[in-house]
Amino acid sequence: MNPNDSKNPEGGPPVAEYASKSQEVVLRSHEYDGIQEYDQLMPNWWLAIFFGSILFFVGYWVFYYNFGLFESDQEAIGKQIQVIEKAKAAALEEMLGKLNDDALVGTWATDPAAVAAGKQTFLGNCIACHGENLSARIDAGGGQFVPLPGLPLNDGEWKYGAKPMDIFRLINNGTPADSAGHNGAKMAAWGQILPPMQIAQLTAYLIHENPKDFAKGE
């Protein structure tokens, strides 16, 4: 230690004795580039906050992470997701209670509002893979057609079942887990994204666009 540091050269209090009176200034003897250093304790309010927050952390850590007394953000979000999943499952349950092949063909697909809503949802979510005209390909001009990833929805073929409820379930659940998909491409479960009402409207739209496939009473 620099011996000059132990005493205040200006004859004031020794350096180790911190300022005791309010407003008293005690400087250490050294000076670098004109910069001097206080030799004072931090004020009590500052120390109280400093040590207080250390104590608070210990308590927080023990109660929060070791005793698990409080709910973590992850648990809170998990609970909320469960509530949402339950509500979704209940809505699907309710919709399935109302839906059947006859209702989809006879009621939903003949309701212009339901068909128009289904078309709207289709244009917003489905045309990237199935095409605006349901053919699953884009006319590139000059007789060239670029295939899209999805299956055509106007070719009279329904790979996972041709009943209206099969179509509803396929849109809702996506490609079945045990299927390899179409050229390796599987369709997502739209029930994760769209409410059952919209899936029913989509089904109504597809039925409406394929009247021969879904003649009433078949």
Residue ranges binding ligand HEC (CB under 6 A): 122, 125-126, 128-130, 149-151, 153, 157-160, 167, 170-171, 175, 179, 181-182, 185-187, 190, 202
Q: Where are the alpha helices (DSSP H) in the chain?
A: 44-60, 73-98, 101-103, 112-125, 127-130, 164-173, 196-209
Nearest to ligand HEC of 26, 199 (CB atom): 199
Nearest to ligand HEC of 5, 166 (CB atom): 166
Tracing tokens 């709207």 back to the chain, one arrives at 120
Tracing tokens 């879904």 back to the chain, one arrives at 214
* Nearest approach, Cβ of residue 74 and ligand HEC (Å): 31
* Nearest approach, Cβ of residue 55 and ligand HEC (Å): 55
Nearest to ligand HEC of 26, 126 (CB atom): 126
Nearest to ligand HEC of 41, 123 (CB atom): 123
The answer to whether 104 touches 165, Cβ cutoff 8 Å, is yes
Nearest to ligand HEC of 8, 121 (CB atom): 121
Nearest to ligand HEC of 139, 157 (CB atom): 157
**Longest CA span, the chain:** 110
Secondary structure class of 17 (helix, strand, coil): coil
* Nearest approach, Cβ of residue 103 and ligand HEC (Å): 18
Buried b (16+ CB within 10 A) or exposed e, 177-215: eeeeeeeeeebeebbeebebebbbbbbbbbbbbbeebbe
Chain centre to alpha carbon of residue 109:
33
The answer to whether 159 touches 152, Cβ cutoff 8 Å, is no
Nearest to ligand HEC of 19, 103 (CB atom): 103
* Nearest approach, Cβ of residue 118 and ligand HEC (Å): 8
* Nearest approach, Cβ of residue 52 and ligand HEC (Å): 55
Between CA 7 and CA 14 the distance in angstroms is: 5
* Nearest approach, Cβ of residue 192 and ligand HEC (Å): 11
* Nearest approach, Cβ of residue 175 and ligand HEC (Å): 3
Secondary structure class of 32 (helix, strand, coil): strand
Residue count (the chain): 218
* DSSP-assigned letter for residue 65: I
